[in-house]
Amino acid sequence: LKPFWLKRFGLQPGPSLELSHIMASLGEEPGLLGARLLDAEVARLRAAKEALANKPKALAVPSEQMLRIDAGQLKAAKDAELLKPMRVRFIEEGPDRTIDQFTKYPKECKLEGMSAQQTVLELRQAIAEQERLPLEDINLFGQNTVLTDKLALADLYVDWM
């Protein structure tokens, strides 16, 4: 029986769990139809468990085919090893950090060679190195996203093409 039913009837799991024990715990005599249905379900579950334990799993695909590398998949994996170039736009200096359709971007840079496994901190470091700025001055904002340093670029990247 499933743990839910054991808990509901206040029973401990064991090898001799029968319908009479369950019904006795409820203080009722088992009905003939209910007893047959429950006994049949218990027997079916036991048989299925034994069949699974004794039967080795058959592979849907031969092991040689599973180990074979498709040339198309290999090329696609190598091509997608690095992310497509990213465009980083800089907002104007000042207290206003609003990003909307009216925001002006006086400067932008393009970053290439970033991997999806890298973090936002590594992205900030790459920007700081490329633009020759201190890391503390590089703050990344998104219109609807908080970009924390521990976040992986894979969690942020969407390829719309």
Name residues whose C-beta falls within 8 Å of residue 161's C-beta, 6 or more positions apart in sequence.
Answer: none
Q: What average pLDDT does this structure show over 131-151?
A: 85
Residue tagged 């290999």 (tokens)? 74
Residue 42, pLDDT score:
85
Give the pTM: 0.50
Coil, strand or helix at 70: coil
Query: H/E element holding 90?
Result: strand 86-90
pLDDT tens per residue, range 5-37: 556 655 555 555 555 555 555 555 555 556 666
C-alpha dist (Å) from residue 119 to 7, 64, 115, 122, 140:
46, 37, 9, 5, 12
Coil, strand or helix at 110: strand
C-alpha angle 127-75-154 in degrees, rounded to nearest 5: 35
